[in-house]
Amino acid sequence: MIPVSEPDIGEKEIEYVDDAVRSGWVSSHGKYIDEFEKKFSEFIGTEYGLTVSNGTTALHLALSALGIKEGDEVIVPDLTFISPVNAVLYCNATPVLCDIDKKNWCIDADKIEGLITPRTRAIIVVHLYGNAADMDKIMEIADRHKLYVVEDTAESLGTTYKGKKLGSIGTIGCFSFYGNKTMTTGEGGFCTTNNKELYNKMSMLRDHGMTSKKRYWHEFIGYNYRMTNLQAALGVAQLERINYFIERKHEIGKIYIEKLKDKVTLHPEGKAYNGTYWLYSILMKDEKERDDLMDFLYSNGIDTRRFFYPVHSMPPYEKYSRGNYPVSTDIANRGINLPSSVKLKDGEVEHVCSKIIEFLDSE
């Protein structure tokens, strides 16, 4: 079975994790934590950064540090993995769902302003499947209305928008290093920011609200959202190969583009951003064709994933719906994530393409 995604773990990763184990520093202290925080922040291009236990806790930590609370509203895209919506609810705030832009599959910047009320405090921008949202317009809206912008960059690590890496543009950037991401620490996540005050607040909240100046003195009700030194050791090794991972994603994307052009609706490309194709994705003509193709590929040893369900369509979140979401509904029903692991050989990617073409020719 050709998988949708799998991690690429090399000898350096094993060496560094073994070193962390042998050092005895296996929990949330150790040299790899400090090294990873420094080097990852430098890679993204922010002054500050801190490791956390996963991407969802990164989002919750960011919102908590921003003071998001009951009575507040946070605008989120309707097509996303559920983490950003849940993070808003963890703060007892209200998620306000926004349709997506068919050009980039991210939150529709043209629809944000119509959702802003006196209770709106923040916008969560999810850079979906390696793409980038229209950050110029979003930041302009946020500045004008004095709103925070949290970038959920879990799926777009390394994507640049007008020369800046995503996660360095908004108030806080949030990342995930789950096993299927561009780089992995097994589980794990990261928050980036250029705001020292927010960095200090997140650092305390991450560690039970305990101040670094007075051990076991807790100034806030915080959380245990710390990453382990073992995970950070894996992260340091992965980060040494991050440029290779990103370049390989581009190479895989180029094969899909060359082989499938004029056959299906391809993964979006943007003039303002250089996407990373975390999962190279295509759109079929309708839901039935999408499902039939997925079944056909699976029967031929090729795994795929459907797109996320629109948030408004799922039972716990129906009450947050504000009308119709035609673009997110349409894209979700037609989208397929194709195999995109950096471990794929060119011939395997070409085989996937040949099977998609075989299916289309048989219709």
CATH number assigned to the domain comprising residue 251: 3.90.1150.10
Residues 54 and 140 reside in one and the same domain: yes
**pLDDT given for residue 335 in this prediction:** 98
Neighbours of 162 (CB within 10 A): 12
The tally of domains found in the chain comes to: 2
Which pLDDT value is given to residue 68? 98
Whether residue 3 lies inside any domain: the answer is: no
CB atoms within 10 A of CB 31: 15
**Residue 231 sits in the same domain as residue 257:** no
Same domain for 121 and 101, yes or no, is yes
Whole-number pLDDT of residue 249:
98
Question: Do 128 and 224 fall within a single domain?
Answer: yes
By residue count, the chain amounts to 363
Q: Give the pLDDT confidence score for residue 358 in this predicted structure.
A: 98
Point out the domain boundary residue: 224, 239, 254: 239
What pLDDT digit, counting tens, does each position of 243-260 carry? 999 999 999 999 999 999
Q: Is the pLDDT of residue 63 over 90?
A: yes
Q: Which residues contact 321 (CB under 8 A, 6 or more apart)?
A: 97, 312
Question: Does residue 69 share a domain with residue 164?
Answer: yes
Per-residue pLDDT at 32: 98
Helix-helix angle 31-44:229-239, to 10 degrees: 40
Residues 71 and 213 both lie in one domain: yes
How many other CB atoms are there within 10 angstroms of residue 73's CB atom? 20
Q: Is the pLDDT of residue 363 over 90?
A: no
Q: Is residue 6 part of a domain?
A: no
Q: What is the pLDDT of residues 344-353, one digit of tens each?
A: 999 999 999 9
The pLDDT tens digits for 110-155 are 999 999 999 999 999 999 999 999 999 999 999 999 999 999 999 9
> In whole angstroms, how far apart are CA 146 and each of 119, 139, 193, 273?
12, 10, 17, 25
Q: What is the CATH number of the domain that holds 165?
A: 3.40.640.10
The residue among 209, 239, 269 that closes a domain is 239
Verify that 254 and 313 share a domain, yes or no. Answer: yes
In a domain, 5, yes or no: no
Residue 32 resides in a domain: yes
Residue 152 structural domain = 11-239
> Does residue 42 belong to any structural domain of this protein?
yes
Q: Are residues 49 and 105 in the same domain?
A: yes
| Cα–Cα distance for residue pair 128/102, rounded to 1 Å | 12
DSSP 265-294: BPPP--SSEE---SS-EEE-SSHHHHHHHH
Digit-coded pLDDT (tens) for 310-357 = 999 999 999 999 999 999 999 999 999 999 999 999 999 999 999 999
| Chosen domain end from 239, 263, 290 | 239
Rounded-to-integer distance, Cα 7 and Cα 267, Å: 22
In a domain, 300, yes or no: yes
Q: Looking at the structure, do residues 197 and 215 belong to the same domain, yes or no?
A: yes
Q: Is 332 helix (H, G, I), strand (E, B) or coil?
A: helix
Q: Which amino acid is residue 212, in one-letter code?
A: S
Within this chain, do residues 98 and 111 fall inside the same structural domain, yes or no?
Answer: yes
Residues 275 and 231 in one domain: no
Q: In whole angstroms, what is the distance from residue 189 CA to residue 199 CA? A: 15
- For residue 2, being part of any structural domain is answered with no
3-class state of residue 252 by DSSP: helix
Q: What is the pLDDT of residue 213?
A: 86
289 has a pLDDT exceeding 90: yes
> Tokens 């799926």 label which residue?
155
Per-residue pLDDT band at 214 (split at 50, 70, 90): confident
| Mean local confidence (pLDDT), 173-181 | 97
Give domain status of residue 142, yes or no: yes
Closest alpha carbon to 313 in 78, 73, 74: 78
Q: Are 209 and 219 in contact (CB under 8 A)?
A: yes
Which structure tokens are listed for 23? 């050092």
β-strand 335-337 against 305-306: which pairing, if any? antiparallel
209 and 253 share a domain? Answer: no
